Structure 1
Amino acid sequence: MSHSQFALLRQRRFAPFFTVQCLNAFNDNVFRQGIIGLLFWMQAPVSERGLYTQLAPAIFILPYFLFSATAGQIAEKMEKAKLIRLAMLLGVAIMLIAAFGFVMHNLPLLLVALFATGVHSTLFGPVKYSILPAVLHPRELTGGNGLVEMGTSVSILVGMIVGGLIFSIGGAISPWLAGAAVLAIASAAWLAAKLIPNVGASAPDLRINWNPVTETVSVMKLARKQLAVRNAVLGVSWFWFVGTVFAAELPDYAPLNLGGSNTLYVFVLALFSIGTGVGAVLCEKLSARTVEIGLVPLGAFGISVFLFDLYFARSGAATAHDLDVMGFIHQAGSWRIVIDLVGIGLFTGFFVVPLFALIQSRTPKDELSRVIGALNIQNSGFVVAASLICLVLRSYAHWSIPQIFLALAVANTLVAIWIFTIVPEFLMRFLSWMLVRTLYRLRTRGIDHIPDEGAALIICNHVSFMDALILSASIPRPVRFVMYYKIFNIPVLSWIFRTAKAIPIAGAKEDPQMMQRAFDAIDAALAEGELVGIFPEGALTKDGEIAPFKSGVEKVLERRPVPVIPMALRGMWSSMWSRRDSRLHRARLPRRFRAHVDVVADAPITGHGLTSETLEAKVRELRGDAA
């Protein structure tokens, strides 16, 4: 089934929310940049400007520490669309205060509004990400998150530009323009929020704990229940750490190391933001519409590669000064720096989008808002840590900005290795993603028949050693595959299969104890609500045709009659690893490079009374003549 994530922008279940998110990010940055512009417009003393520079980030981030746990509970208990509308209405009230602050040139009032904006963002944060699984199919999660990250990156960039321009071109009426702008944008966000359809509450009976300390401890524990989710949360927080270092250093990097003016700083920021947006929207294409966490290691190490190269591209101070964009472009080595900045942003998008999709898909729906609240608490801690580290390294250790980028590259590599060592699923998915995308071109049909949650048995024809990896790359949920133990023990692939919790099985005559352990493991997995994949032929096809199905699938269903999802692989017989050549004793060479392979699924069939013959006929029908 052909699909584009951009089709979501025409659908009411997503488009109004996307608009609200973009307007909200846009307005936050117009407002914050507008305060800086006002200080310069008022010709405030350098000491006063410095005081704001130090106070403003702390004032904005403080509510995340104080109220994120409570906000997560509220987002769990309330109907989500109603909560977004209330949050946007609160945003209008806050921007009304901000407008008075601009017009009256009242910095304390603007700082009050800035704190309130932090409260508003804290309230909106948990519902912003927890609403996506409620309105999107699991196969749309990666694309939807990609659009949100792309829209946010662009909105932040445009907001900073607009906020700065207001006081550059507005003249005497600049404060009035700033007040009118933030109030108008907030009002537009509220109007867009009224178009979001109701989606219900995920835990309407939840009893809210108003104690922020005990609830913070509670939600942090909730975010650590599952190892993969816990480390996805850690990964997202690390993304904020990296982003904060860039945001803190780019304003000085442009003049000190690139020799540019203020317009060059905006250009450099635009390169990073555009790269992030492009990387975010490419995730759906690269993941084939699954939650493909194999992109996370690719993103992490890609960030490091371009950070290292950025250091070596310009490790010293600039030799020119006050360069505009075209002046910089014509400097020797400038294109290398441009590519590095875009590359860092691009791989940042690859890194963060699958992590958000993983958190949303693996966390129970009635806990997701609270887990996002915990994520926001941890994010704010990483943001503060990044800011303090940059301050210490620049002011006290006297490090240059390229040296900070080099240290960030080293730290990013070490953090990535650590995360992928303690959660090998990330690296396993990366290796399997690389194998599958290198050897095949996948096309899927009917994958939406696979249920979003609950136990089910997946059956499929068995053509190659790669079948389990291909199905894993096509199915949005994790699958426990049952496979012949000799395939399970193939070097390299064995590590992937073990990490994916595949279930090895042997024939009754080969190892009856292993066979019994396999059936017990299958039943336990189904009892836990997992997907289990079985190849009922019991062996790879020798001639490309489907062999008779064995009775093992009937034994599984007799013990636990879960729904059965018939699937078929088409086009695999002409591909790599489809069988061994009996004469050459090696994998048969492919007839063409990167063969097209179709993965076809049909609607679930009730597990009561099914026979292996019935299931075999269904899979034969799905596969058709395309062996």
Structure 2
Amino acid sequence: MNASTPPNNAPVSQFGLLKQSRFAPFFWTQFLGAANDNISKFALTVMVTYQLSLSWLPPAQAGLVIAALFILPFVLFSATSGQLADKYEKSRLMRLVKNFEIAIMAVALWGFWQQQVPALLGCVFMMGMHSTLFGPVKFAYLPQQLSEKEITGGNGMVEMGTFVAIILGNVLGGVLIAQPEVGAFYTGLACFTVALLGRLAVQFVPHSPAADPRLHINWNPFTETWRNLRLARENIVVFRSLLGISWMWFFGVVFLANFPNFAKDVLHGESQVASMLLVVFSVGVGVGALLCELLSHRHVEIGLVPLGSLGMTVFAVDLYFASRGLPAVPLQSVGEFLSHAAHWRVLADLGLLALFTGLYSVPMYALIQLRSQPSHRARIIAANNILNALFMVASSLLAGVLMGAGFTVPEIFLAVGLANAVMALYICVLMPEYLLRFIAFVISRLVYRFKLRGDANIPTQGAAVLVCNHVSFIDAVLLMAASPRPICFLMDHRIFATPVLGGLFRLAKAVPIAPQKENPATYEKAFQRARQVLAEGDLVCIFPEGGITRDGQLQPFKGGVMKLLEGQPNLPVIPMALGNLWGSYFSRIEPAGAMVKPFRRGLFSRVSLSAGAPMAAADVDLPKLQREVAQLLNDA
């Protein structure tokens, strides 16, 4: 067994992935590339701002010009890079991109040494192209190499690594370029050396097959960009998730771009204080990204997105109040700045805001990777890069307009924080799956101590029927929390009349079902809808007892499940059992009924869900299915 093959195909933790040959070389490749971007950009910004006097590039505009040159290739060439990443084997493409980086940094070495700013600006543009080419390959590579239970952790590690690389790149670039006489040469040499190290790391990235080797490349970036956006729109959840990620960059750029002004004009700190704000923000995003795997129990948990968005708004708003009215004092060093208790609140707000940004972004990236069609996954990532670039430009322009209108930096932070709340509500209305998973996340972790057994038996792709006992009004919510994919529930039509929960299940697009004798039209319509869902390759859950148990015992199964399986002999059937839920607030306890005495079992009571091994529909009958569920209950 080698490092790339975990025992029994067991999922590996996010830190364990760094020992895997399928992940570690890739991680260090992208880490070194991100670091090199920031060494070269920041060093050039410092050189133009502090060391040279150029009439054609005033210091006040240097940062803006360098940022624009780096972003421009994302707009122009993302469409082409997405096609290349889908058409060609990915490790080979990564090696070619890293060869390109070495050539760029050879020119940058000469440019820094000779202080040739036009050449260095050209290198910034080329490094933007390097990142444009690498981005779709990077995000399309992960779902090919990682399982569903690893992809959240893998994305978290990449996100963390990127922000750590930003910190180190800025620090290293600033320190090297500041060295008297030899600083420029040392900076160029460092960039070239990091490029060589990246090329060494990429040599060990394993083979990753082309998704669509017959793809015909369209070299027109404008028509291909439009085509990529149309491809993304074919899956509305994926497309709206792309917009959600682009909004995150819009939000983040407002803070990142305004750190220098915020540090100087509001916090009254020297330039090192601005650097400290960047470090706090980057560490916060990295910690949030790493927490995703822990909080999601190694699944793609999009319920973290509303939680992340809520935290982003709360701490952006509090940052406004924490920084408002600070006394005007002479510019302070980092030590002087940290000596004031009020400044610690500012740093806490900034760090927590960034942490929740990490919680927000990682599940969205993982969702896009898993739900995009593999044949054009990289092109959809490329479409995301285009949208990100456009949103970042719009963010910078809007911040400039607001400042021109007289807004202070804290007021801009407040405005974007409140706008984020509106955007979060809009996303939840457009994509109720995010809200539903958030509710399921909260109930399964904050109301109950929810334990899942046999989760490997819940299929991550393809159609299947889930068959579960019916204990309470929130059985469906707990099943949502357990499944990495949306589930279509067939539920007793009377549940839909329950306040709040009825609205929740309508939002989840659960299908009401009534006894055939009571309402034959509703009965037939329910099975028609369920078969359509299965035909689309999705999951259907049915509670074959026909209603919530009134005594805690498993009730006789009715024949509806067999009707659902008719004509589909190979369809997987997954028996499931909810344990220890009887007697909780949401279960029926005679004579009082359900949802009375909310603390009768206390908070955080233990409940479980056990998933049995899949059975082929042809091998299933009602007595056998009931025995399987009963056995799971006994083993719970």
Same fold (TM over 0.5): yes
C-alpha spacing 1:3/1:51, structure 2 compared with 1 (3 Å): closer
Cα distance, 1:337 vs structure 2: 0.8
CA distance in 2, matches of 1:48, 1:401: 23
Deviates more, 1:572-581 or 1:53-62: 572-581
Q: Deviation of residue 121 (structure 1)?
A: 0.6
- Does structure 2 retain, via aligned residues, the 8 Å contact 1:456–1:565? yes
Q: Which residue of 2 aligns with 1:434?
A: 442
Pick from 488, 508, 511 the counterpart of residue 480 of structure 1: 488
1:365 to 367, 371, 374: 374
Distance 1:156 1:258 in 2: 23
1:593 aligns with 2:617: no
Tell me if the contact between 2:586 and 2:595 (Cα under 8 Å) persists in the aligned partners: no
Distance between the aligned counterparts of 1:56 and 1:2, measured in 2? Answer: 42
Of residues 66-75 and 483-492 in structure 1, the stretch that sits farther from structure 2 once superposed is: 483-492
Hey, what does 1:4 align to over in structure 2?
13
Query: Contact 1:61–1:380 (CA<8 Å) still a contact in 2?
Result: yes
1:125 aligns with 2:139: no
- Which of 298, 319, 338 pairs up with 2:307? 298
Quick one: which of 390, 408, 412 aligns to 2:399?
Answer: 390
Q: Distance in 2 between matches of 1:586 and 1:62?
A: 57
Query: Match of 1:415, as an amino acid?
Result: M
Secondary structure, aligned partner of 1:486: helix
Match of 1:166 in 2: 176
Q: Give the conservation status (yes or no) of the 8 Å contact 2:264–2:270.
A: yes
* 1:550 corresponds to 2:558: yes
Q: CA RMSD in A?
A: 2.0
SS in 1 for 2:233: coil
Q: Secondary structure at the match of 1:333?
A: helix
Using the alignment, how far apart are the partners of 1:45 and 1:321 within structure 2? Answer: 30
1:522 aligns with 2:519: no
Give the conservation status (yes or no) of the 8 Å contact 1:580–1:586. no
Q: Which residue is equivalent to 1:72?
A: 82
Task: Please say if 1:214 is aligned against 2:185.
Answer: no
Equivalent AA in structure 1 for residue 370 of structure 2? S
Deviation, structure 1 residue 67 = 0.7
Cα deviation, 1:433-492, whole Å, max 9, x if unaligned, reads 223322112222322233332111111222222111111111111111111112233221
2:30 matched to 1:26? no
TM-aligned CA deviation for residue 332 of structure 1: 4.3
CA distance in 2, matches of 1:150, 1:470: 30
Q: Distance in 2 between matches of 1:167 and 1:219?
A: 40
Unaligned runs of 5+ in 2: 1-9
2:3 match = none
| 1:140 alignment partner in structure 2 | 150
Residue 528 to residue 19, structure 1, CA distance change in 2 (3 Å):
same
1:499 paired residue number = 507
Moved more, 604-613 or 470-479: 604-613
Measure how far apart 1:194 and its partner are: 1.6
Q: How far apart, in 1, do the equivalents of 2:301 and 2:291 lie?
A: 12
- Counterpart residue number, 2:588: 579
Output aligned runs, 1:233-244, within 5 Å.
Answer: 233-244=242-253
Shift in Å, 1:595: 1.8
Distance 1:94 1:2 in 2: 38
Deviations 1:362-382 (A, max 9, x none): 221112111111111111111
1:75 maps to amino acid: A
Q: Work out which of the residue numbers 233, 236, 240 in structure 2 matches 1:231.
A: 240
Preserved CA contact (<8 Å) 2:90 2:207: yes
- Counterpart selection for 2:97 from 79, 87, 101: 87
The correspondence of residues 143-158 of structure 1 with structure 2, limited to 5 A, is: 143-158=153-168
Match of 2:575 in 1: 566
Deviations 1:571-609 (A, max 9, x none): 323543232332466547543421222322233222224
Counterpart for residue 4 of structure 2: none
Q: 1:439 touches 1:576 (CA, 8 Å); kept in 2?
A: no
Shift of 1:163: 0.9
- Structure 1 residue matching 2:512: 3-state secondary structure: strand
Of stretches 312-321 and 112-121 in structure 1, the one that deviates more from structure 2 is 312-321
Tell me, in whole angstroms, the C-alpha distance in 1 between the residues paired with 2:264 and 2:592.
67
Corresponding residue to 2:407 among 388, 399, 402: 399
State whether residues 578 and 587 of structure 1, in contact with CA within 8 Å, keep that contact through their aligned partners in structure 2.
Answer: no
Measure, in 2, the Cα distance between the counterparts of 1:146 and 1:114.
27
Partner of 1:54: 64
Following superposition of structure 1 onto structure 2, how do residues 234-313 of structure 1 map, counting pairs within 5 Å? 234-313=243-322
Give 1:605's aligned amino acid.
Answer: M
Q: In structure 2, what residue type is equivalent to 1:206?
A: L
Deviations 1:119-140 (A, max 9, x none): 1111111111111211122222
Alignment partner, residue 610 of structure 1: 620
User: Could you tell me the TM-score, scaled by structure 1's length?
Assistant: 0.95
What residue identity is the alignment partner of 1:446? G
**1:457 equivalenced with 2:460 (yes/no):** no
Give the residue type in structure 2 aligned to 1:261: E
Letter aligned with residue 343 of structure 1: L
Contact 1:505 1:515 in 2 (8 A): yes
Given that residues 580 and 587 in structure 1 are in contact (C-alpha distance below 8 angstroms), is that contact kept between their aligned partners in structure 2? no
Partner residue, 1:116 = 126
Distance 2:199 2:457 in 1: 36
Q: Distance in 2 between matches of 1:107 and 1:586?
A: 70
Task: State the SS of the aligned residue for 1:487.
Answer: helix
Aligned-pair distance for 1:218?
A: 0.5
Report the CA distance between 1:102 and its aligned residue.
1.1
Distance 1:124 1:586, change over 3 A: closer
Q: CA contact under 8 A between 1:289 and 1:476: conserved in structure 2?
A: no
TM-score by length of 2: 0.94
- Residue pair 1:458, 1:531 contacting (<8 A) in 2 also: yes
1:178 maps to a residue whose letter is: T
Aligned length: 624
1:501 is displaced (CA, Å) by 1.9
Q: 1:430, 1:354 → 2: CA distance? A: 12
Query: 1-side partners of 2:385 and 2:222: how far apart?
Result: 15
Greater mean alpha carbon deviation, residues 561-570 or residues 66-75: 561-570
In the TM superposition, residue 254 of structure 1 has moved relative to its aligned partner by: 0.8
For residues 63-104 of structure 1, give each alpha carbon's deviation from its aligned partner in whole angstroms, at most 9, with x where no partner exists: 111111111111111112222222122212211111111112
Q: What is the one-letter code of the residue matched to 2:479?
A: L
Q: Does the CA-based 8 Å contact 2:533-2:540 persist in structure 1?
A: yes
The Cα offsets for residues 505-531 of structure 1, whole Å up to 9 and x where unpaired, read as 111222121111111111111111111
Task: Flag the 1:435–1:144 CA change in 2: closer, same or farther, 3 A.
Answer: same
Relative to structure 1, the CA distance from residue 284 to residue 488 in structure 2 (aligned partners, 3 Å threshold; closer, same or farther) is farther
Amino acid at match of 1:193: V
Contact 1:167-1:175 at 8 Å conserved across structures: yes
Structure 1's 40 and 52: CA in aligned 2 closer, same or farther, altered over 3 A? closer
Distance 1:80 1:590, change over 3 A: farther
Distance in structure 1 (CA, Å) of the matches to 2:557 and 2:466: 14
**In 2, Cα distance between equivalents of 1:156 and 1:107:** 22
Instruction: Give the distance between the partners of 1:227 and 1:206, measured in 2 at CA.
Output: 24
User: Structure 1, residues 403-440: CA drift from partner, whole Å, max 9, x if none?
Assistant: 21122122222222222223333223323322332211
CA distance in 1, matches of 2:370, 2:600: 36
317-326 or 483-492, which moves further after superposition?
A: 317-326
In structure 2, what is the Cα distance between the partners aligned to 1:447 and 1:208? 41
Go from structure 1 to structure 2 and tell me whether the alpha carbon gap of 1:536 and 1:386 turns closer, same or farther (over 3 Å shift): same
- Write the letter of the residue equivalent to 1:19: W
Equivalent in the alignment of 1:531:
539
Structure 1 residues 60, 585: closer, same or farther in 2, change over 3 A?
closer
